[in-house]
Amino acid sequence: MTRENIKTPDGGTLELYTTGAELASAGSGVVVVQASMVTAADYTRFAQKLSASLGRPVHTFNRRGRGESAPQPEDYTLDVDIRDLDTVMKHTSSTDVFGHSFGGAVALHAARTLPVERLAVYDPAVSVNHSVKADWIAEYERATAAGDDDRALAVLVRGLETGGALSSRMPLSMLTLANKLIAGTSIGKQHRDLMKTGVREIKAIIAADMPAEPFLALPLETLIIVGEKSPAYFGIACGQIHDVLSGSSYTILPGAGHDGVNRAPDKLITELSDFFAG
């Protein structure tokens, strides 16, 4: 794996990792756009397996607010990540894109205007006809205003529903206590570091809500994957996009939850490598 910092047109920095750089002569790489509350390092296993299966490079990068990438601006919108994806695609000469969760929302919106040839998404957190709701944000903001980050994080985790059925049903008091107990661990620190950026991203998704019809501008070759055990709201938006995009493929990954990408099961890797191989 190689690592480099690349510059964006607005003077920012993006930390870029390339797995399988020695395979560049085999063709265009695949750019991975990450979810919220995670970093590029969380996709190492996925990138290694996909690159090995596909025989081409896989590029992961830290979106703003992560690693050595530039901070997320206070006036953040989805356009920031769309422009950054454009920068990474140009730098790596890549035309294939894979997006996970929030990264899937970025990829879906970006592919309407960027030169993406093949697009695949897994549980994209895109809002179509108000499919994404976040009534919990007011409670989150009350907790942060009171300086109670443990409770704020609990509200966020339960609101996103991506931590599995147990955390989504757990009483807020128990989730808050659990956050206190893991505060000193690497995952606990990461969640606190990314909490503010994660809520900004949810707000940006809701602000970018639109009907399904504009997604007709997506590439003809678009693969939509939803985890069988993922929260239902991912499937609602994906179904609407698939209905208007006649050339798209829609599949449900058996036994997988929202973290299916990070677990990188062989079935997912095979599905993606077959798709990106054309």
Q: Are strands 222-227 and 249-253 parallel, antiparallel or unpaired?
A: parallel
| Cα–Cα distance for residue pair 216/225, rounded to 1 Å | 18
Residues 205, 207, 211, CA angle at the centre, nearest 5°? 85
pLDDT tens-place string over residues 103-114 = 999 999 999 999
| Cα–Cα distance for residue pair 192/205, rounded to 1 Å | 21
Give the predicted TM-score (pTM) of the model: 0.94
Structural domains of the chain, with CATH: 2-130+209-276 (3.40.50.1820), 137-203 (no CATH)
pLDDT of residue 165: 58
pLDDT of residue 26: 77
| H helix runs in the chain, sequence order | 44-54, 78-92, 102-110, 137-145, 149-160, 165-169, 172-181, 186-207, 232-244, 260-263, 266-276
Strand-pair partners of 122: 100, 225
Q: Which two tokens mark 30?
A: 């695949």
pLDDT tens-place string over residues 235-244 = 999 999 999 9
Residue of higher predicted confidence among 248 and 25:
248
Residue 73 binned pLDDT confidence (cut-offs 50, 70, 90) = very high
